[in-house]
Structure 1
Amino acid sequence: MNLPEFLGSKWKDNSSADAAPVTWDCFTGGFLDRYAPHIVVDPRAQMSKFLFGVSDLVKIECRNDMLLGDMDISRIMTNTQQVEGDKLREMIKENKKARIGNYEYSQQKEFPENLPGLPPKIEVEFPIKLIPGYTPIIITHYRMALAELRELKSQLQELLEKGFIRPSVSPWGASVLFVKKKDGTLRLCIDYRQLNRISIKNRYPLPRIDDLFDQLKGAKVFSKIDLRSGYHQLRIREKDIPKTAFRTRYGHYEFLVMPFGLTNAPAVFMDLINRVFKPYLDQFVVVFIDDILIFSRSSEDHDKHLRIILKILKEKELYAKLSKCEFWLDEVAFLGHVVSAEGVKVDPSKIQAVVEWKPPKSPTEVRSFLGLAGYYRRFVKGFSIIASPLTKLLQKEVKFIWDDKCQESFETLKSLLTQAPILTLPIEGKEYVVYSDVSHNGLGCVLMQEGKIISYASRKLKLHELNYPTHDLELVAIVFALKIWRHYLYGEKCHIFTDHKSLKYLGTQKELNLRQRRWLELIKDYDCTIDYHPGAVRDDA
């Protein structure tokens, strides 16, 4: 591609440039990262090694070219034509992956093309505990089209060869069906609904998404590892294998590894991953089921952290899918959000599904829409109040009528999600600021730090609260904020702003009713100051 003239006199004799991902161990200790914008390296001396390609290692002819640094590349991308810029961005994206060449990831056992076979026996196995009194359940297998039968035979053979399933004589038998993936291929699924109905639920806690993001404060470099067919990397407890049996046109089989579709699979796999990474959880790694995110404050730290995680994967014989892994990123998509040093924002690719959602025609469709939109409620000021016309449609005694208020609520939520702000991550030891506000529809609060938004929160007023005087409603909003953000505010300095002046003197008031006294006792548990703010500041809440 052509080099723009703005790069300066240093590059005046170079009419074009090639972008090639190289192994960063070709250079001394991150030398390029720190000095590349102004340093020229003689490739005849330094580049006699192999260059790390996307799919394999390719030896290239050494040429006496100049090497551009990240800052130069950024300037080129900003000022070049769109098509060429897109190509270069793709090269740089691959180059980010290529930096894993430091560890020769593509050659390591942690990133096989396919799982090598049965996972090892470890301390965690998948149990299937049943509610007492139930006998084995067997379901007639579903009929399939010819194309599905061909695919079924192929996938069964593959599972048999890997040792994931074996022929069964179990009295249990679920049916199988296919679900089409985004790429058009078919995923084999077992209908375990009847087995799940009589299984004792595993209550192992899954982490809260926002709690995971809170651990990332200060991080600037990210890598994401996605385990390959994660569930298949955990064995079924020997005595429970017959319960996984399924029936097909081509025979009766049972799983030796944890299949998809069992009710306790996420909880048990989460237990396994937490045990594996326990020494480093929240220090430089967070996990959610089979998604692993490594985060660091510097490139030097990230190098060490990646080595530790890869070593653990190797020792525990856990395998990742290289094509779904991302390394050395400035920002990373994780659990429907995009995380960077600036904070957390919604993932545009996920929000697109909300934007394209057609007006619901039933309570079920309303519930689905609110479920997806509500996942991002902390990005939306007054979410509960805006969504109230839609939530009313979910009440059993309310007839489903999609009126103008519902349509307005629906469109407003979609619009606000596309304009959602970047939320900053809280910093321990810094003072928090809370703005609260109340209307006849509900109450809303915003949590801030150093002038940046951490989170919004809101809810509708409860039936008995509709009769409260304004003074009490403003107090309700403060109590609501302290409760919902207790994990941030407890033990930290907090400044609360309300638009009701009398609350500023709440601590010195002598005549308080029982309800107010109860709330005052709760407020005293926090190191907070309540102040009045004029109406102009209310725009934040």
Structure 2
Amino acid sequence: MSIPLPTRMSTTGNQVDNWRYFKDEWSNYLIASGLKDKGEEVIIATFKCLLGRETSQILNNLKLSVEQAKSLDEIEKALDGYFLPKINIIYERYLFGSAVQNETESIDQYVSRLRKLCSACDYKTVEDEMIRDRLVLGIRDEDTKKQLISNSKLDLSMAIDICRANELADRQLRSMQGKSSAEPVNKMTHKRNIPNKSKGSNSQKGKEVPCKYCGKIHVHDRNSCPAYGKTCRKCGKLNHFDSVCGSFRSNSKPKGKFNKRRSHVRQVEDESSSEGEYFSEAFKLEEVNSFGHKQAKKRVWVTSLDFFVGKLVKSVDCQLDSGATVNVIESNLVKQIFGKKLEIKPCSTTIRCFGGSLITPIGELSVHVASKGARCTLKFLVVESDKTTSAQMPLISAASCEQLGLVKLTEVKLMETSSNAEAILHRYRDVFTGIGCLEGECSLNVDPTVLPIKQKPRRIPVPLRNEVKAKLDELVEKGIIIKETGPTDWISNLVVVKTPRKLRLCLDPLFLNQALLRTEYEIPTIESIMPELNGARYFSVVDTKDGFWNVKLDMKSSKLTTFWTPFGRFRFLRLPFGLVVSSDVYQCRLHEIFSGIQDIIVIQDDILIIGRGNTDQEASKNHDRVLEKLLERARQANLKFNKDKIKLKKREVKYMGHIVSKDGLKVDPDKVKAIREMKDPSDITQAKSFVGLVTYLSKFVPHLSSLCDPIRKLTKKNQEWEWGEDQKRAVEAIKAIVSKAPILAYFDPSKQITLQSDASSKGLGAVILQDGRPVAYASRSLTKSEHNFAQIEKECLSILFACERFSQYIVGCGKVIAETDHRPLETIFKKSLLEAPTRLQRMMLRLQRYNLEVKFISGSKMHIADALSRMQLTETHQETRLDEVYVADTIHQELESMKIADSLNITQSSLERVRTET
């Protein structure tokens, strides 16, 4: 007998159910085909063939060890861990404990749902008792519930039999009475009558109507519909199959913005639309005692609308239903509002309730309605009032709510935006599991002139030994380290870092770092990436998992990382933390992996994803496109990310110690908090730390320099420490001003660049501006020799300082406007270089590489640069030192860029003679 092969594992749709079904089929096939009697290799090969391409790729990304790959149980266990979600017992028991019978759910359906929920609760031997208790508490029929509670010997089987019998009796009773039980209306559907084409069409009224989500006949409840939660292959939307999709029918009406799926609710709908029934969050009609006074037992959306009755205007409370497609009003309300002034026209429609019962409206009427300036004509279906209850509020449909401006979908768009990125993460969830391993091996180079050193073993505290042993075993199992038994030239010590949550093991390669030959690789800074952030609206930050451990070491390099432990020597198989070359190697590898992908910034293990565009929608699509490219490239390179640290699609994120937002670069609140809460320095070391932290804010706040001067003086050599009132006032002033740090604009090369610079008796100040917004600030104090400069020389020096400080922004751009409040400089820069004084010549010579246009501006209009020069921060003076000694090749390059002959007082014929002779 030929046994058919199991269906290949599908990764589309509900992967949990697909995997469970595949495993059941595989287990049966394994026994029925006799494959179980064959070798393990044949069984595993057959199993992998049936997995399919997508599942096989997932299995490869799980990186099983050689031993695990040879065991079918280990393979199935690994795939179970991937496809089957981890069960939270507390949450599953909460779901089970809150499960009540739905309005249209039969007893058998309810019991089946309880069994499914209970299977994840781990009740073990008391499972039937728990299901019995939940059945008694959750059943809708009160009479049946009393009957069950009164039975002291009730078990699950008996409870089910009683419920079935009562349900059957109730159904038969309704059939004998010829009418359905009085149930609240969950859904009313407006359906245009279609002329009967056959005589037997009337007999079809009593039959059930196929569900327009799945095309099958079942109870009209979302939990019973197999299409609930599925994605249509035609239109890409949720909650229906492609076989019944109406998105491509020529006679279908547009669905509109409000046909969104929500959780189980009541609504009204026009069945002539292409969508049929909707599971959306509408709101049921609440009872009212009298007109205009409501008793809302549940949360509803109610608003007052103006109904025009002839020349009169009446204010009527109406309920908004974003899931409905027609407006409904009761006949009693029509009489109260309009009297006999408005005629009810007949209509050929049928309203079908959610449970299947039919209601025929009395007719329809058109009403002029207004709300907050919006005015339109709405069509209402008039239904007969229920004499046993008070009048109901008119129900306003989704389209009418939109027409009157009562509902906006701004938040829904934001939710969809976030969900798109979440969906991408879900498709690439294998990128967030396991430890990555980049292709190729890293080789560490050692200076041959340095003698190898074996450090003396460092003792580990006895209370930590068990934890250290467990951590070493874990790293060995993950393939990060391996035990070393052979001789090695280099042996380092291990550093044990104990934190409240975990134990970290780090290498202490003090002497090895001195011998390693570093291959430098430029690592970007926050200043260098600012121009790339221009126009960004969305940001995400992903963190590479285990950083340097993604890089594999060759055997020679691995031997260099040998370290002592109380349990023997071990060595790293992956690039360890602590090596002087690790950052350069890792930065280079990441740049190689992600080269060519626009709108990402890679700095060490933090990757910034940018979504830029002229609108939020455009930026959102750009962000998701870049995110998918990044994850695909990471999957190909087998690089892993840390899902716990991901910051997904935010308006602003913390990156490299700064806050990056669409408005610009902001100061990190944590650093501001650190300054505000910092105690007064008590020695030179603490004073230097305080000054260093303040220096971080220098590009944000232009008024910190002079305030910090009293503290900076105490950090100089041979300065006696004396913390006085001047220092205390400086600290208080700094703490007050840092909380008002402005937002820096992102640099845009396409916009005009303006430099403002100024010099005071103490220092230099500069700011780069675009569209009047500061891009960055800079200031520094004058050196001892620069204090002797004339004022015009100091002003020229400030321009030079500004240009060299912001060189990365202005080199290669168009004309840069340099504004100064010293008028003579404007004239000097227009003249020949040889006409300037000697010291100014040297400064102007260094400015030749910049395309400057020096302009005079009144000092009263240069508040920022003037304040910076008088309130300067300490910076490295070597940036603009004017010592007499210059590097020869630098000067040579500067001279080559100038046309010296243009400035010489010599005729053309004499110049030709000089050229011929030389």
Shift of 1:241: 1.0
Alignment of 1:169-184 (within 5 A): 169=485, 170-181=488-499, 184=501
1:240 equivalent in alignment to 2:557: yes
1:41 equivalent in alignment to 2:259: yes
SS at match of 1:110: helix
Which residue of the partner structure matches residue 194 of structure 1?
511
Which residue of the partner structure matches residue 444 of structure 1?
765
Which residue of the partner structure matches residue 657 of structure 2?
336
Which residue of the partner structure matches residue 168 of structure 1?
484
Q: Is the 8 A contact 2:452 2:489 kept in 1?
A: no
Match of 1:157 among 452, 467, 473: 473
Shift of 1:197: 2.8
Alignment of 1:33-72 (within 5 A): 39-43=257-261, 62-65=279-282, 71-72=410-411
SS at match of 1:279: coil
Which residue of the partner structure matches residue 266 of structure 1?
583
CA separation in 2, counterparts of 1:369 and 1:162?
Answer: 42
SS at match of 1:253: strand
Shift of 1:335: 0.7
1:534 equivalent in alignment to 2:854: no
Alignment of 1:19-418 (within 5 A): 39-43=257-261, 62-65=279-282, 71-72=410-411, 98-105=419-426, 108-112=429-433, 114-115=434-435, 119-122=437-440, 125-130=442-447, 132-146=449-463, 148-169=464-485, 170-181=488-499, 184-280=501-597, 283-297=598-612, 298-381=619-702, 383-418=704-739
Shift of 1:30: 11
The one-letter amino acid of 1:284's match is D
SS at match of 2:673: helix
Which residue of the partner structure matches residue 192 of structure 2?
none
The one-letter amino acid of 1:127's match is L
Match of 2:828 among 506, 513, 519: 506
Alignment of 1:445-464 (within 5 A): 445-464=766-785
SS at match of 2:504: strand
Query: Taking structure 1 as reference, are residues 46 and 221 closer, same or farther at Cα in structure 2, changes over 3 Å only?
Result: farther
Which residue of the partner structure matches residue 745 of structure 2?
424
Cα deviations across residues 186-210 of structure 1 (Å, max 9, x unaligned)?
3222222222233333322211221
Out of 404-413 and 234-243, give the one that drifted further: 404-413
Out of 407-416 and 240-249, give the one that drifted further: 407-416
CA separation in 1, counterparts of 2:417 and 2:721?
Answer: 51
The one-letter amino acid of 1:433's match is T
Alignment of 1:473-484 (within 5 A): 473-484=794-805
SS at match of 1:325: strand
1:434 equivalent in alignment to 2:755: yes
CA separation in 1, counterparts of 2:462 and 2:845?
Answer: 67
SS at match of 2:717: coil
Shift of 1:364: 2.7
Shift of 1:523: 3.8
Shift of 1:428: 1.4
Shift of 1:130: 3.5
SS at match of 1:247: coil
Q: Is the 8 A contact 1:382 1:457 kept in 2?
A: no
CA separation in 2, counterparts of 1:495 and 1:271?
Answer: 37
Q: Is the 8 A contact 1:96 1:329 kept in 2?
A: no
CA separation in 2, counterparts of 1:488 and 1:23?
Answer: 51
CA separation in 2, counterparts of 1:190 and 1:523?
Answer: 48
Q: Is the 8 A contact 1:385 1:441 kept in 2?
A: no
Which residue of the partner structure matches residue 83 of structure 1?
none
Q: Is the 8 A contact 1:43 1:62 kept in 2?
A: yes
Report sequence identity in percent.
27
Shift of 1:63: 4.4
**TM-score of the aligned structures, taking structure 1 as reference length:** 0.79
Cα deviations across residues 364-389 of structure 1 (Å, max 9, x unaligned)?
33333333332332112155544344
Out of 387-396 and 337-346, give the one that drifted further: 387-396
Shift of 1:503: 1.7
Q: Which runs of 5+ in 2 are unaligned?
A: 1-228, 239-255, 266-277, 283-321, 324-406, 613-618, 866-918
Shift of 1:184: 4.2
CA separation in 2, counterparts of 1:358 and 1:24?
Answer: 59
Out of 208-217 and 103-112, give the one that drifted further: 103-112
The one-letter amino acid of 1:529's match is E
Which residue of the partner structure matches residue 182 of structure 2?
none
Query: Taking structure 1 as reference, are residues 393 and 44 closer, same or farther at Cα in structure 2, changes over 3 Å only?
Result: closer
Larger Rg: 2
Q: Is the 8 A contact 1:330 1:341 kept in 2?
A: yes
Q: Is the 8 A contact 2:539 2:648 kept in 1?
A: yes
Shift of 1:315: 0.3
CA separation in 1, counterparts of 2:519 and 2:709?
Answer: 34
Out of 381-390 and 64-73, give the one that drifted further: 64-73
Cα deviations across residues 391-419 of structure 1 (Å, max 9, x unaligned)?
44443333333333434444444433322
Cα deviations across residues 284-318 of structure 1 (Å, max 9, x unaligned)?
11110111111121112222111111110000000
Instruction: Point out which structure has higher relative CO (alpha carbons under 8 A, 6+ apart).
Output: 1
CA separation in 2, counterparts of 1:433 and 1:450?
Answer: 9
SS at match of 2:747: coil
**TM-score of the aligned structures, taking structure 2 as reference length:** 0.48
Out of 396-405 and 184-193, give the one that drifted further: 396-405
Q: Which runs of 5+ in 1 are unaligned?
A: 1-21, 32-37, 48-60, 75-91
The one-letter amino acid of 2:843's match is W
Out of 130-139 and 226-235, give the one that drifted further: 130-139
Q: Is the 8 A contact 1:97 1:326 kept in 2?
A: no
Q: Is the 8 A contact 2:710 2:727 kept in 1?
A: yes
Out of 270-279 and 414-423, give the one that drifted further: 414-423
Which residue of the partner structure matches residue 841 of structure 2?
517
SS at match of 1:373: helix
CA separation in 1, counterparts of 2:231 and 2:470?
Answer: 42
